[in-house]
Amino acid sequence: MQRLESSIKNLLLQQDKKALEGFCPYHRKRIASSVSDAKEEVRKLFMNFVDGELDRFKKQLSEEARVIVAGIAEGYVNEVLQLLETQVSNGTTNFTSEDLVNGLVRIFNVEDCPAFQNKK
């Protein structure tokens, strides 16, 4: 949970950088289609990250504990997305989905994204 929180905080601190520039074409297209689609896609990406983190600890945590942690993490991710959307909408009159996710997600960069494998 601390790793997730730290990752999200680090991503939110990247406000002046264009996070989408590093995205693979697949995720850039999916995220840039509309604000609601962008929010849902980013939420899914974060929850995949949370699920992966929880899988790492499946032997140490009971099923009940994992469900509780997943619920907390999902609430946290939803709050982060809502906060970011509010900040973007208050700062600009015409905000795009790219603005919404800019600085939020750096996890799925081209070199790390399984959907964009460059076979040489």
Contact (Cβ atoms closer than 8 angstroms) between residue 36 and residue 59: no
Q: How far apart are CA 41 and CA 22, in angstroms?
A: 16
Q: How far apart are CA 60 and CA 65, in angstroms?
A: 10
Q: What is the per-residue pLDDT across 24-38, written as a single tens digit (0 to 9) for each?
A: 677 667 666 666 777
Q: What angle do CA 33, 49, 1 make, to 5 degrees?
A: 130
| CA dist 83 → 7, 27, 86, 87, 101 (Å) | 16, 22, 5, 6, 12
Q: Does 43 score more than 70 pLDDT?
A: yes
The pLDDT value given to residue 30: 67
Domain boundaries, the chain: 2-101
Q: pTM of the predicted model, to two decimals?
A: 0.51
